Structure 1
Amino acid sequence: MSYHVKAITREEHLAFVTARPSVSHMQVPSWGDVKPDWRAESLGWFDGGGGLVGVGLVLLRPLPKLKRYLAYLPEGPVIDWAAADLERWLEPMLAYLKRRGAFSVKMGPPVVTRRWSAEAVKAAIADPQAGRLRDVAATAHEPQALDIADRLRRLGWQQTEPGGEDGFAAGQPRYVFQVSFAGRTLEEIQRDFNQQWRRNIKKAEKAGVTVVQGGYEDLPVFYDLYAETAERDRFIPRPLAYFQRMWTVLRAEDENRMRLYLAQHEGGILAAATMLTVGEHVWYSYGASTSRKREVQPNNAIQWRMMCDAHELGAGVYDFRGITDTLDEGNHLLGLLRFKAGTGGQAVEYLGEWDYPLNKVLHKALDVYMSRR
């Protein structure tokens, strides 16, 4: 017998998420408010006794001139992915979304497939024969993930292939970098940093770099650095209003959901970053810095302060978010991978995003449209 899926209140959704140690920040009710171009809805999975056993934040994007929607559950839903009868969870979700007018469903199972230690990542970067991290032998495998992927395919789900010259897939990153905090002191965490990281933290302290928490009024300062970073690193920046909305709606749900950090030196702001928290999972979300005074190492200083605060909040993992899996020396994102690997954490591959075409014609039309953007 399948579970029953229906809309639930934000309060029910938040209570379920709060009772769990780790849920993606994209699966909390307030994340829907960050995305005004989508219609957000909280879904609940109920067992035969009427108990709430799973939740999901679904974002519905309408097709122009049609009352049909792309349904997207970023890094979700929050269900028992290890269940042998996965169809009991997914089929009622598809049926519900089809009734809501969805022509296609996209989701990102929060399931880890492989891990690479920092040493393995560094060795791969140094190996001229290694083209992509995905082709390098992993330090650890999660065999259950392969079984989940096979079951999804049998159920008719289609895996979105990681694409793009930088190794990032459309949607959410498949490859991230994480540092485990569980059961470790700050001294033990820093002991795993490479020599360059530890030296840079001390250099920033000696130079007089101070890191403080900012407020809503500091978001324009963050944004100026972010726009400079976007131009330097060749990506399209989000507007300031996006970050202002993020701050307002996420902190209305939980004052620790989003924080802003600023690295100061001699009266100027050299770097800024946002941090997101859900339960025991903390994410470095957006970072920004100027090209000036890089020698005082503000980026290492700001990350270390954020990691210290995350540890104080009881974090089990500090998540640096997306990394490129491209190991080409000519790729401008490789430096960011080196920077994150210097913390001694591990590169993590997730199962990626999966599509289910409820209407194959409209789904194909969307694929063609997206490929031409």
Structure 2
Amino acid sequence: MTYQQLEIEQAQFEQFVKTHPKGDLLQLPAWGSVKAATGWTHERIAVGTSTGQLVGVALLLFKKVPKLPFTLCYAPRGFVVDYTDQAAVAALRDAAIRVAKKRKAITIKLDPNVDRTEYPNLLQEMKELGFKHNGFGGGFDYAQPRFTMETSLEGSEKEIFDRFHSKFRYNVRLAERKGIICYEASRDELKTFANLMVETGERDGFSIRGLDYFENLYDHLRPTGDAALFLTKLDVVRALENTEAALLQADKELTKIHRQLEKETVEKKINSLNNRLEQTTAQIEKAEKSKTELMAIAAKHPNGVILSGGLLTLAGRRSYYLYGASSNEYREFMPNHLMQWTMMRHAKAHGAISYDFGGVSGSTDPDDHYAGLYAFKSGWGSEMIEKIGEFDYVLNKPLYLLLETGLPILQKLRKKLRR
């Protein structure tokens, strides 16, 4: 089959990305607009048959190299194409080369939304098309994570929930008992989210994005329904109501046990009742302590307090936990667990069949530097996905070698490829 470059409308491009098995958030036209705020430009290319049947697209991002008349060309999670159709891949390559040469690109970089073992012959086929594969390094060695954690949203909500680790299911329910609510927030509340991000960055020691970035991302993805902000709040009134209800139930249970003890004569049953009495008394003491703590919180935060936030994004049948932040206060109330479950339910309701938690190192070693990250992301019935990695099509070999071997300007620019 012979394919040619096509000129298509943005809406058709977007629809193709959202419905294609290899589509991804980072290939949506809106993502090009998001990146424009940080100095990137972009172009869209498409290829298909002579009758106009679309078979492949790519969003190409361009970043100018400081002090030099050259650019880097990057198709994040691209190309969007059936990789078993080598003619279609070749047609996209040729279209990308034409655009990239006009922009004086040093190289065309892509990191397809393709699992490592999905197409056994892909490395050889890409090599035949002139692409250089950048190896199977660690999860965070490349522009995009090579290992990601994904939770399937297929099946009923109960089936999804039951696939979580038992501790995670408990924590979701605990958050609800503690009066945590999670709701879809408005654009104005991005300020609250950005403040939480500052708190998170200071606590965990990483650099953060500012409010302008989150507003820009939200403004470009929200109009098509592809972004939503969620916040969790400690509703002290609800928490006190839950605690009072638990105390009332425990008091009834205590009264029932005492009545049974007055009548019981069988030693084995008496021992069992005494065990229940001890457990119920402990529950009451715990609830009374919780009530005292909640009353103190109510005095400090009469209108409740925001504890965490998350930015959820969507691209057709895929959803992404893109950014998250949390307060240092009341972390023991497990607000993040309820937030994740709420965002998964929202994503499923909007047609998503997968929930991407983002990158991990690729190691399951408990001594790994990122072991805590893996432990959290793996508790949601998720699967670790290994991507095939990066490919480069080199257009300027001398400058490409400098890029690879450490020219400071280019090395710094390379880090900016990350989303």
After TM superposition, the score normalised by the length of structure 1 is: 0.84
- Structure 2 residue aligned with 1:44: 46
- Structure 2 residue aligned with 1:158: 132
Report the Cα distance in structure 1 between the residues aligned to 2:308 and 2:106, rounded to whole angstroms. 43
Q: How does 1:348-363 map to 2 (within 5 A)?
A: 348-363=385-400
Report the Cα distance in structure 2 between the residues aligned to 1:203 and 1:326, rounded to whole angstroms. 30
- Structure 2 residue aligned with 1:107: 110
Aligned in 2, Cα 1:28/1:243: closer, same or farther, shift over 3 Å?
A: same
SS of residue paired to 2:321: strand
- Structure 2 residue aligned with 1:80: 82
Show structure 1 runs of 5+ residues with no match.
Answer: 114-140
Task: Measure how far apart 1:321 and its partner are.
Answer: 1.5
Aligned in 2, Cα 1:196/1:151: closer, same or farther, shift over 3 Å?
A: same
Task: Measure how far apart 1:34 and its partner are.
Answer: 0.8
Which 4+ residue blocks in structure 1 deviate beyond 6 angstroms?
none
SS of residue paired to 1:270: strand
Does the CA-based 8 Å contact 2:150-2:355 persist in structure 1?
yes
Show structure 2 runs of 5+ residues with no match.
Answer: 237-303, 413-419
CA deviations on 1:146-198 (whole Å, 9 max, x unpaired) are 3112211233322234657xx4123111111111122x001011111111001
SS of residue paired to 2:207: coil
Does the CA-based 8 Å contact 1:233-1:332 persist in structure 2?
no
Report the Cα distance in structure 1 between the residues aligned to 2:11 and 2:381, rounded to whole angstroms. 38
SS of residue paired to 1:112: coil
Report the Cα distance in structure 2 between the residues aligned to 1:301 and 1:330, rounded to whole angstroms. 28
Does the CA-based 8 Å contact 2:62-2:74 persist in structure 1?
yes
For 1:17, the aligned partner's letter is V
SS of residue paired to 2:216: helix
CA deviations on 1:267-296 (whole Å, 9 max, x unpaired) are 111110010011111111111112321111
Identity %: 33
Aligned in 2, Cα 1:273/1:190: closer, same or farther, shift over 3 Å?
A: same
SS of residue paired to 1:193: coil
Asked whether 1:178 is paired with 2:150, we answer yes
- Structure 1 residue aligned with 2:29: 29
Matched length: 339
**Among 218, 235, 245, which residue is 2:216 paired with?**
245
SS of residue paired to 2:338: helix
Task: Measure how far apart 1:244 and its partner are.
Answer: 0.7
Report the Cα distance in structure 2 between the residues aligned to 1:324 and 1:332, rounded to whole angstroms. 9
CA deviations on 1:224-282 (whole Å, 9 max, x unpaired) are 11122223333221222111100111113x0x200000010141111100100111111
Report the Cα distance in structure 2 between the residues aligned to 1:372 and 1:20, rounded to whole angstroms. 33
Aligned in 2, Cα 1:358/1:7: closer, same or farther, shift over 3 Å?
A: farther
- Structure 2 residue aligned with 1:307: 344
SS of residue paired to 2:85: coil
CA deviations on 1:84-138 (whole Å, 9 max, x unpaired) are 446533441343134322221000111112xxxxxxxxxxxxxxxxxxxxxxxxx
Asked whether 1:168 is paired with 2:140, we answer yes
Please state which structure has a larger fraction of its residues in helix.
2
Does the CA-based 8 Å contact 2:42-2:61 persist in structure 1?
yes
- Structure 2 residue aligned with 1:211: 182
Report the Cα distance in structure 2 between the residues aligned to 1:94 and 1:263, rounded to whole angstroms. 43
Report the Cα distance in structure 1 between the residues aligned to 2:25 and 2:86, rounded to whole angstroms. 26
For 2:231, the aligned partner's letter is L
Report the Cα distance in structure 2 between the residues aligned to 1:7 and 1:63, rounded to whole angstroms. 28
Task: Measure how far apart 1:17 and its partner are.
Answer: 2.9
SS of residue paired to 2:372: helix
Q: How does 1:119-198 map to 2 (within 5 A)?
A: 141-142=117-118, 144=119, 146-161=120-135, 167-182=139-154, 184-198=155-169
Task: Measure how far apart 1:330 and its partner are.
Answer: 4.4
Aligned in 2, Cα 1:249/1:181: closer, same or farther, shift over 3 Å?
A: same
CA deviations on 1:15-69 (whole Å, 9 max, x unpaired) are 4334446621111111011112111111111323333322111101122344432
For 1:314, the aligned partner's letter is G
Report the Cα distance in structure 2 between the residues aligned to 1:3 and 1:99, rounded to whole angstroms. 20
- Structure 1 residue aligned with 2:193: 222
Report the Cα distance in structure 1 between the residues aligned to 2:31 and 2:151, rounded to whole angstroms. 24
- Structure 2 residue aligned with 1:369: 407
Report the Cα distance in structure 1 between the residues aligned to 2:93 and 2:68, rounded to whole angstroms. 24
Does the CA-based 8 Å contact 2:46-2:58 persist in structure 1?
yes
Aligned in 2, Cα 1:6/1:106: closer, same or farther, shift over 3 Å?
A: farther
For 1:258, the aligned partner's letter is A
Report the Cα distance in structure 1 between the residues aligned to 2:91 and 2:324, rounded to whole angstroms. 37
Asked whether 1:257 is paired with 2:226, we answer yes
**Among 367, 370, 375, which residue is 1:333 paired with?**
370
Aligned in 2, Cα 1:169/1:9: closer, same or farther, shift over 3 Å?
A: farther
Does the CA-based 8 Å contact 1:3-1:92 persist in structure 2?
no
Please state which structure has a larger fraction of its residues in strand.
1
Does the CA-based 8 Å contact 1:27-1:75 persist in structure 2?
yes
- Structure 2 residue aligned with 1:275: 312
Report the Cα distance in structure 1 between the residues aligned to 2:132 and 2:204, rounded to whole angstroms. 32
Aligned in 2, Cα 1:93/1:196: closer, same or farther, shift over 3 Å?
A: same
Report the Cα distance in structure 2 between the residues aligned to 1:214 and 1:112, rounded to whole angstroms. 34
Report the Cα distance in structure 2 between the residues aligned to 1:68 and 1:264, rounded to whole angstroms. 48
Report the Cα distance in structure 1 between the residues aligned to 2:205 and 2:212, rounded to whole angstroms. 21
For 1:294, the aligned partner's letter is R
Structure 1 residues 28-37 or 92-101, which shifts more? Answer: 92-101
**Among 328, 342, 355, which residue is 1:318 paired with?**
355
**RMSD between aligned alpha carbons?**
2.2
For 1:75, the aligned partner's letter is R
**Among 383, 392, 400, which residue is 1:346 paired with?**
383
